[in-house]
Structure formats: structure tokens, C-alpha cells
Amino acid sequence: MIRKEAAVPMTKLRKEQTAATRERILDAAMNVFHEFGVSHASLAEVAELAGVTRGSIYDHFRSKAGLLNALAERMELPGERLCETAGKELKENPLGTLRTRWVWLFHDIACNEQWQRVLEIIFLPCEAVSEVCESTRRIKQGRTAGLERMANLMKMAVTAGQLPADLDVDLAQQMLHGGLFGVLEDWLQSPRIEDLGELGERYIDTLLDMIRFSSTMRLDRQQRTLH
């Protein structure tokens, strides 16, 4: 009975130590991948920075791709939960909800260096497909889901009278999604002189004005019939 009681805290301690080692490896991997790129980084460099052996890394991750995927899983990629829990606000003001959540996202990324580094690792370097396949698949899935959410929000905004009834929703959601991710990628590649929060806010307001008022964003009669 005494041995059993003593084993409980020891087991808990081992789990805490294992979790701490895993996080230390991930932190090291983020720095090494960010500096050298996933393809050119080595697990030996990650192990040295983390203060562990290569064997310890393999106890937690099977490969560099596994490390990269775990890094991505530690954070929500942009737009993955956009407007997911907006509730009543979403129904009453869908366009305002869309704008507010993207502005929050831009401000959060601007203030979070870890987010910036992971996004740079995932989005910007031209890495071997074998190294980033799972993360790339997640990004593609996130993009598809993000486009669907934007289209649904725009349809709700049309119903609420916030957007024109003859809006080409397919064109509008593609333009908005591409524009917002475009400004994020440009900012990550630039010297970051401008504040991403302010830049993103101006960008989304400009895009929404284009969607509201541009005649090229409207359906013609034939398209209206098809839709």
C-alpha cells in the first residue's frame, strides 16, 4: 500500500518531465527551422539547442516532419476557428463579425513572435514536399474551410442587407480570402515597418468597400438565374 501511494507522485513527475522535454524540443525546433529551413535543418542541431540527445527526440517525434506538424498543432492557423463561436453576434451582424475576427487575428499575430516564426516556417520557405506534407495538407484543408466560412458569412450578410443582393459571392470570398492572406504573407516577408494590426484593418476595410460598391462584383442576369 505504501509503495503504491509513493508511485503515484513519481508517475506524475515523470509525465511532467516528459512533457517539459517535449516542449523544450519543440521550442528548439522552431528556432532551428526558422533559421535554416526545414530541409536544411538537422535533428542534431535541434537536440543540441534543446540540451537533449537525438535519441530523446526520436522518443517524442519520428522525423523533422513530425516536429513541424507538432509545431503547427501548438497553434491555431489563421482563420481555423474564425467566427466559430460568434453565436448571436454572428446572426445579427455577420459582416461586422467577419471584420472584427480578422482584425483580432492580425493584431494577435503582430504581438506574437512565436506565431510569426511558425507561420514563416510553414508558409514561406520552399521546402521538400516530404517534409511538410501533413502541414501543407492542414493548410489546404484550412483554406477550404475558411473559404466556406467566408461564403456563408457573406450569404448571411446579403440576407441581412449588409451586402448587395446581386453580389457574386464566389468571387467576393475568393478575393477577400486571397487579399487577407496576401497581406499577411507580404508582412512576414517584409522588414515589418508597418504595424500588421493597423495594416490589416485598413486592408479588410478596403476590400469590404470594394465588395459593397464595385460593379464588377455583381452577378449578371444569367448568373443570377444559375445561382
Helices (H), 112-195: 113-123, 129-159, 169-189
Per-residue pLDDT of 41-96, as tens digits, reads 888 999 999 999 888 888 888 888 788 888 877 776 655 555 455 566 777 899 99
Q: 78: which 3 cell numbers?
A: 489563421
The Cα–Cα gap between 146 and 76 comes to 13
CA dihedral 219→220→224→225, nearest 10 degrees, is -160
- Please report, for residues 192, 193, 210, the alpha-carbon distance to residue 227 in angstroms, rounded to integers and kept in the order given: 42, 43, 21
Least confident window among 43-52, 144-153, 161-170, 192-201: 144-153
